[in-house]
């Protein structure tokens, strides 16, 4: 039973909810039905000259590929649960808030689903625990249903850029020969919405979309657009494939931690799109434009990094190789701290019509001079006992990114060091020398940096 699975997980056992372990059979039935719906339309189109005998032969030919597609879906679903489980103690506040939203909007019954009540959530928070794996399975499934519904009520499934989610749902023989028929599939919108929801939940966690909506005021569709731009601009699909190809070659924990690194970088970039772009992302234009600039930034990263950040990248590279990751992948992952600031650097470079490598150099030099990375690390370490404290902490971190961008632009326009800058630097150093950073000290540091950036 689900109750016994939760008990087992609480005692340290590794176990899913039963419907996750049975997902392959259910998914294969779904794929089969959708293929047969498509085949009916293909047979009714005289251009295809498809009769029952040819249809049955094609179905038989595609059996192994369908099995592969189903196993891939099950693999990524279980991987998504593992990612959530690894972070569960840190995400408990967000997960608990999402459960409340599901109760309010999706008819979730905690007792029926064996999810913890508010008293138990508080006990786990105090004990440094999170949701257990079988509980995360429940939350994941409700999230996929909820986001699919929201996407169906938006224009996202109708965008030309989303057609790939529909076409690649089917085996290659159907993609190659019957693409136009597939685009007219009776359940095309539903397949697109489902696959997008599954992708984001598997990669970013169950509560991610709702948390970004609450934090930024964006719609579900806006969060999806931002995710898709970031996914393509950063080449995340290639990263994910390379990490997954290490099954049996590197430890599962090393793979999951690499996935977590990508997740954190993607979350930061998606938040930037929702709060700093100033408009709705345009998939057709933004994906190629930002991808080109991100590639340039990566290529020139070595020459742009100051000593402190170079040391961080070198340490990350060493750790990744020691954990069994191939050198090229380890190198690419070690540069993720650079990508955390990619869109600020790209925007400044575009505003000044300047060289992106020179812009990156100024951005990181300013960050090191004013110890902005240390301030951010201090902000991330501030305890947050509830949703509001968590949002306040996230807001301070966002302000630090914003002020670093403003100071970088100022430095590019007026590179001379001023007495005011020296004074602010001295103040920040005195704050950092006090040990742990609390919110009041951090707010003072941000205010002084903002005042300096405004001059």
Distance CA 252, CA 83 (A): 11
Q: Which burial class, exposed, middle or buried, applies to 76 when counting CB atoms under 10 A from its CB (0-12, 13-18, 19+)?
A: middle
Residue 53: burial class (beta carbons within 10 Å; 0-12, 13-18, 19+): exposed
pLDDT at 278 over 90: no
- In this predicted structure, what is the pLDDT of residue 438? 87
CA-nearest of 138, 126, 99 to 5 is: 138
- Torsion angle of C-alpha atoms 399, 353, 335, 246, degrees rounded to 10: 110
Q: What percent of the chain shows pLDDT beyond 70?
A: 100
What tokens appear for 158 in the block? Answer: 């109708």
User: When comparing pLDDT for 236 and 434, which is higher?
Assistant: 236
Give me the pLDDT at residue 300, please: 87
Q: What is the mean pLDDT of the chain?
A: 93
CA separation for the pair 117, 96 (Å, rounded): 9
Whether pLDDT at 436 is above 80: no
Least confident of 42-46, 51-55, 192-196, 337-341: 337-341
Terminal CA-to-CA distance of the chain, rounded, Å? 64
Amino acid 88: pLDDT: 96
Q: Please check whether residue 165 is in contact with residue 192, taking contact to mean a CB–CB distance below 8 angstroms.
A: yes
The 3-state DSSP class for residue 247 equals: strand
CA separation for the pair 280, 270 (Å, rounded): 12
Confidence of residue 26 (pLDDT cuts 50, 70, 90): very high
Beta-carbon-side half-sphere exposure of residue 95 (alpha carbons within 13 Å): 32
- pLDDT (tens digit, 9 = 90+) per residue, 149-201? 999 999 999 999 899 999 999 999 999 899 999 999 999 999 999 999 999 99
Element (H, E) at 170: none
Judged by DSSP in three states, 250 sits in strand
pLDDT in tens, 370-415: 999 999 989 998 888 888 888 889 889 999 999 999 999 999 888 8
Could you tell me the pLDDT band of residue 253, with boundaries at 50, 70 and 90?
very high
**What is the rounded CA–CA span in Å between residue 291 and residue 368?**
26
Q: What is the pLDDT of residues 3-14, one digit of tens each?
A: 999 999 999 999
| Per-residue pLDDT, 434 | 84
| Residue 437 banded pLDDT, cuts 50, 70, 90 | confident
Task: Specify whether the CB–CB gap between 134 and 17 falls below 8 A.
Answer: yes
The whole-number pLDDT of residue 137 equals 98
3-state secondary structure of 394: helix
The long-range contacts involving 372-377, CB below 8 angstroms and separated by at least 24 positions, are 372/400, 372/403, 372/404, 372/449, 373/308, 373/309, 373/312, 374/432, 375/400, 375/428, 375/432, 375/437, 375/442, 375/445, 375/446, 376/400, 376/401
Span 49-90, pLDDT tens digits: 999 999 999 999 999 999 999 999 999 999 999 999 999 999
| Percent of all residues in the chain with a pLDDT value above 90, rounded to a whole number | 83
- The pair of structure tokens assigned to 28 is 């294969």
Residue 416's pLDDT is 82
What is the model's pLDDT at position 109?
96
> For the stretch 401-413, what's the b/e string if a residue is b when 16 or more beta carbons lie within 10 angstroms of its beta carbon?
bbbbbbbbbbbbe
Structure-block tokens of residue 54:
């040819």
pLDDT-derived band at 24, boundaries 50, 70, 90:
very high
């Amino acid at each position: 039973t689900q109750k016994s699975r939760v008990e087992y997980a609480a005692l340290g056992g590794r176990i899913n909810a039963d419907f996750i372990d049975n997902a392959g059979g259910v998914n294969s039935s779904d794929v089969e039905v959708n293929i047969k719906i498509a085949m009916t339309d293909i047979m009714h189109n005289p251009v295809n000259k498809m009769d029952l005998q040819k249809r049955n032969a094609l179905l038989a030919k595609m059996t192994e590929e369908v099995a592969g597609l189903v196993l891939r879906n099950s693999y990524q679903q279980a991987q998504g649960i593992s990612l959530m489980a690894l972070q569960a103690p840190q995400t408990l506040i967000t997960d608990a808030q999402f459960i409340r939203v599901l109760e309010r909007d999706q008819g979730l019954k905690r007792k029926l689903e064996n999810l913890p009540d508010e008293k138990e959530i508080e006990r786990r928070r105090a004990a440094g625990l999170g949701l257990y794996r079988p509980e995360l399975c429940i939350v994941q499934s409700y999230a996929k249903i909820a986001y699919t519904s929201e996407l169906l009520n938006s224009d996202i499934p109708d965008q030309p850029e989303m057609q790939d989610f529909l076409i690649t749902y089917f085996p290659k023989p159907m993609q190659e020969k019957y693409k136009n028929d597939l685009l007219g599939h009776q359940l095309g919108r539903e397949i697109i919405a489902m696959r997008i929801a599954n992708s984001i939940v598997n990669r970013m966690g169950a509560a991610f979309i709702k948390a970004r909506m609450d934090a930024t005021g964006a719609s579900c569709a806006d969060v999806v657009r931002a995710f898709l731009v970031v996914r393509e601009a950063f080449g995340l699909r290639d990263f994910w494939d390379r990490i997954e190809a290490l099954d049996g070659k590197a430890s599962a924990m090393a793979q999951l931690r690499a996935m977590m690194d990508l997740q954190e970088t993607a979350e930061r970039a998606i938040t930037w799109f929702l709060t700093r772009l100033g408009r709705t992302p345009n998939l057709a234009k933004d994906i190629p434009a930002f991808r080109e600039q991100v590639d340039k930034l990566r290529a020139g990263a070595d020459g742009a990094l100051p000593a402190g950040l170079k040391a961080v990248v070198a340490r990350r590279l060493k750790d990744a190789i020691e954990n069994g990751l191939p050198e090229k992948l380890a190198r690419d992952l070690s540069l993720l701290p650079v990508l955390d600031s990619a869109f600020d650097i790209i925007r400044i470079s575009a505003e000044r019509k300047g060289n992106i490598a020179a812009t990156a150099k100024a951005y990181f030099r300013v960050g090191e001079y004013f110890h902005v990375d240390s301030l951010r690390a201090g902000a991330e370490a501030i305890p947050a006992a509830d949703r509001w404290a968590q949002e306040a902490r996230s807001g301070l971190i966002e302000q630090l990114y914003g002020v670093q961008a403003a100071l970088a632009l100022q430095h590019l326009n007026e590179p001379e060091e001023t007495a005011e800058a020296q004074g602010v630097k001295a103040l920040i150093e005195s704050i950092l020398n006090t040990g742990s950073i609390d919110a009041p000290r951090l707010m003072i540091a941000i205010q002084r940096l903002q005042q300096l950036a405004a001059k």
